[in-house]
Amino acid sequence: MSNFGDLFQSADWKQEKHAPVIEGPDEVKKGETFQLQVSVGKEIPHPNTTEHHIRWIEVYFLADGEKFPIELGRAEFTAHGESTEGPNQGPACTEPGVVLRAQLTKSGTLCATSYCNIHGLWVSQKSIKVSE
């Protein structure tokens, strides 16, 4: 069996519709609230159908020098056009994007993971610096 971490795929989100996109500041002040947006399909839209969709996005923070990341948030997308009338006939679809607000006291790495029901697990990262 593969190592679980080996199951995550990564790619440049400008060329791959499955990679999560982390948008937020490169630097924040210690303890100040900032906004972070994570989405899938920014440049190349990802399908959002009953048969092919993004199921969830998770966002983590790994502080420099720490061993374990902290989960900042998780969003599940549960409406993909399902209906008793058939696939893609439903009245609602959720789009794969989330906005988080956070505070940090150390510099580190933001990590976003997402899951496509057809193409599996995806990951991307963004460094963030914390200043006094």
Active-site residue identified among 14, 29, 30, 52: 52
Active-site residue identified among 17, 53, 80, 111: 17
- CA gap 127, 132 in Å, rounded: 17
66: annotated active-site residue: no
Active-site residue identified among 42, 93, 95, 119: 119
The one-character DSSP state at 92 is -
Active-site residue identified among 58, 80, 111, 116: 116
Q: Residue 12 is encoded by which pair of tokens?
A: 């440049």
116: annotated active-site residue: yes
- CA gap 98, 73 in Å, rounded: 9
Active-site residue identified among 16, 53, 80, 111: 16
18: annotated active-site residue: yes
53: annotated active-site residue: no
Contact in structure between 114 and 122 (CB atoms under 8 Å): yes
52: annotated active-site residue: yes
Active-site residue identified among 18, 58, 80, 111: 18
80: annotated active-site residue: no
16: annotated active-site residue: yes
- CA gap 6, 36 in Å, rounded: 26
Question: Which residues are catalytically annotated?
Answer: 16-18, 46, 52, 116, 119
